[in-house]
Amino acid sequence: MLQLNIIDETSPLKAVILGTAESCGPTPRPEEAYDPKSLEHILAGTYPKEADMVKEMEGFNQVFKKYDVTVYRPEVLKDCNQIFSRDIAFVIEDKIFHSNILPDREREFEAIQGVLDLISPENIIRPPEEVHVEGGDVMPWHDYIFVGTYTAEDYPSYITARTNKAAVQFLQEQFPNKKVKSFELRKSNTIAKENALHLDCCFQPVGKNKAILHKNGFLIEEEYHWLVNYFGKENVFEITADEMYQMFSNVFSISPNVVVSERSFTRLNHWLREQGFTVEEIAYSEIAKQEGLLRCSTLPLIRE
């Protein structure tokens, strides 16, 4: 059996589900796009090819092998995009939560049944229907659970609004001993640079006390300042709108000292090395065209 254990974003990783780009299907039609960045590439004819994305994910897999991480992969479904395993579920402490996601993505959750079979059933939790939540919006960080949300009245009109107010209350009930801190995200169905699809698209902790942040991803300035104060201004790497668009904050920590990053993120990678991190650079720019990157394509199960 798997003893799930996740209390933060950076402790040494022991087991993870890495999505798959195999059989991810033809280029979607514009009306099938889940986010503005994918739509941009569909319309421009630059939407990523399956073979390129398979290769990029294999590069990520090799880094996990190097650090002796146990990697699980979903069962490959025909013509189904299964790259972003972070969307379908997330682990906090010893429990795995089934995200209530867009109904046509339910199959993606079923494709990790092989892993679920290794987890004690009482630790697999399906939130009630009114709770909308995706793993990209949920970040356990010691005593806190940081949650990206969108709670305005026009929530239903945004396909990019993935986590609602009910999710924040639900998580607080599940973990009464933790502080659930929510952040309102800026949403746009049409302009990628104005859209923070998930919290990890504009914020991510690295190491023990540092963070990558993009101010404009947050609708409420005080909430952004809360994070700056929490981590300390000197520990924050502030990214530009263009860098948010390229997914600079969506790197992935294998341990407090090792960060996997996209090789083109020159400015960030330089800063990380200056801070003493080992940076494992890989090619992931094709996958980035779907408004997701390294953190989005992983579902950590066990950290030390």
Q: Name which residue leads in pLDDT, 102 or 6.
A: 6
Mean pLDDT confidence for 81-86: 94
Question: What mean pLDDT, rounded, does the chain reach?
Answer: 93
Mean pLDDT confidence for 102-121: 92
211 bridge partner residues:
205, 236
Residue 1 has what pLDDT?
Answer: 92
* 80, 32 Cβ separation under 8 angstroms: no
Q: How crowded is residue 141: how many other Cβ atoms within 10 Å of its Cβ?
A: 17
Element containing residue 115 per DSSP (H, E): helix 113-116
**% of the chain beyond a pLDDT of 70:** 99
Residue 160 has what pLDDT?
Answer: 66
Cα separation of 150 and 157, whole Å?
11
Q: Which two tokens stand for residue 170?
A: 């639900």
220-256: pLDDT as tens digits: 999 999 999 999 999 999 999 999 989 999 999 999 9
16-51: pLDDT as tens digits: 999 999 999 888 888 888 777 888 888 999 999 999
298: confidence class by pLDDT, cuts 50, 70, 90 = very high
Element containing residue 66 per DSSP (H, E): helix 50-66
The DSSP symbol for 300 reads E
Give CATH superfamily name and number for 13-303.
Answer: L-arginine/glycine Amidinotransferase; Chain A (3.75.10.10)
Give start and end residues of each alpha helix (H) in 154-301: 165-174, 221-231, 241-245, 266-274
The values of phi and psi at residue 271, to 5°, are -60, -45
14: confidence class by pLDDT, cuts 50, 70, 90 = very high
Count Cα atoms within 13 angstroms, Cβ side, for 293: 30
Residue 31 has what pLDDT?
Answer: 86
